[in-house]
Structure 1
Amino acid sequence: MAVGSAGTRLVVVRGNSASGKSSVAAGIRDRFGRGLALVGQDNLRRTVLRERDRPGAANIGLIDSVARYALDAGYHVLVEGILSADRYGTMLTRLLADHRGVSCCYYLDIPIAETLLRHATKADPAYRAQVTERELRDWYRERDLLPGGVETVIGADSTLDGTVGLIMRETGLAGLPAHDD
């Protein structure tokens, strides 16, 4: 079922835990302004549903529904999260195929050593204590890319500002006006 319009943008930012996805998403939203819906896997899965990440979980459909609703309402949409290919790939592939506008996918390819360093800099000490190195290593999936080569792979050498700028340019968001309401 077609979703969005020729003028809407759908951006997917994926990667391992502590790869910088949320920081990139926040940077894009800050630069763009109003009119960009941020559909965060962690928020919908952990906060809204308080659900574990497992195959066939309810959050997969919720992420899809929220993204589709926002696109149909005229928002640009940024979906971000670990969004492992085996659990979320079918939903993401369908969403990308159904979107009428420009769709771009990015995978933050950060080595485990850098992932551990980035995790240590998280501002929330309770989260750092809750998510240990062992868990990060257990969750880590090297190059967990979606099928079909649809993702632009961004390495650890790209700065936060550089990654945000790249995505803003490639998606066309840099040249679009924010909503004024």
Structure 2
Amino acid sequence: MTHLVVLRGNSGSGKSSIARSLQLHQGRGWAHVEQDHLRRKILRERDIDPGLAPAFIEHNVSFLLEHGYHVILEGILFSARYAPMLHRLSTEHGGPSHFFYFNVSFAETARRHRTRPQAAEFTPEEMQTWYQELDLLEEQTEAIIPESSTQEQTLAYIAAQLNTG
């Protein structure tokens, strides 16, 4: 039975770092699907409708789950645009689904952004325009990861949830 792990939250909240660490921690058979890579790099698409990103992400994740991979999907994944796709993924794959929302204030997001490789790609002022506070999904229960949680604590927490669900 495959696991679906969804890591959501604003830019700079730590999702990608946790996803990479979790994939390494869990070992072979775990795929890491990055919203940014699929949407920004492959499609070169803005995160607005109309667009192919939600369907493209859903197709990739479904394909991997159907072929026996556990999947870690991470991205901002705004609820207004991605909730229907995330709900379908959760209900259609048949295995356990784990949703985590990284709740990080804008001030902390901007501080972290200055230390990231993407710091030259967009400014904190641009990030402010797409920042959404506590953008939780309505149809899924999401565990909230607070900004005070270290990478080690967050990784341990998520790994423990995978072992109980």
* Normalised-by-shorter TM-score class: over 0.9
Unaligned runs of 5+ in 1: 1-6, 174-181
The match for 1:177 is none
Unaligned runs of 5+ in 2: none
Q: Tell me, in whole angstroms, the C-alpha distance in 1 between the residues paired with 2:115 and 2:20.
A: 17
Give secondary structure in 1 for the equivalent of 2:136: coil
Say which of 158, 163, 172 aligns to 2:163: 172
1:63 equivalent in alignment to 2:57: yes
The match for 2:153 is 162
1:24-59 Cα deviation digits (max 9, x unpaired): 101101111211011110010011111111124101
Q: Tell me, in whole angstroms, the C-alpha distance in 2 between the residues paired with 1:49 and 1:136.
A: 20
- Cα contact 1:103–1:171 (8 A) shared by 2: no
1:79 equivalent in alignment to 2:70: no
Q: Tell me, in whole angstroms, the C-alpha distance in 1 between the residues paired with 2:50 and 2:8.
A: 19
- Distance apart, 1:149 and its partner CA: 5.0
The match for 1:128 is 119
Q: How does 1:110-125 map to 2 (within 5 A)?
A: 110-122=104-116, 124=117
RMSD across aligned positions (CA): 1.5
Q: Tell me, in whole angstroms, the C-alpha distance in 2 between the residues paired with 1:171 and 1:106.
A: 12
- Distance apart, 1:148 and its partner CA: 3.3
* Percent sequence identity over aligned pairs: 43
* Structure 1 stretches of at least 4 aligned residues deviating more than 4 Å after TM superposition: none
Higher alpha-carbon Rg? 1
Q: Tell me, in whole angstroms, the C-alpha distance in 2 between the residues paired with 1:39 and 1:149.
A: 19
- Cα contact 1:56–1:87 (8 A) shared by 2: no
Give secondary structure in 1 for the equivalent of 2:23: helix
Give secondary structure in 1 for the equivalent of 2:74: strand
Q: How does 1:1-181 map to 2 (within 5 A)?
A: 7-122=1-116, 124=117, 127-172=118-163
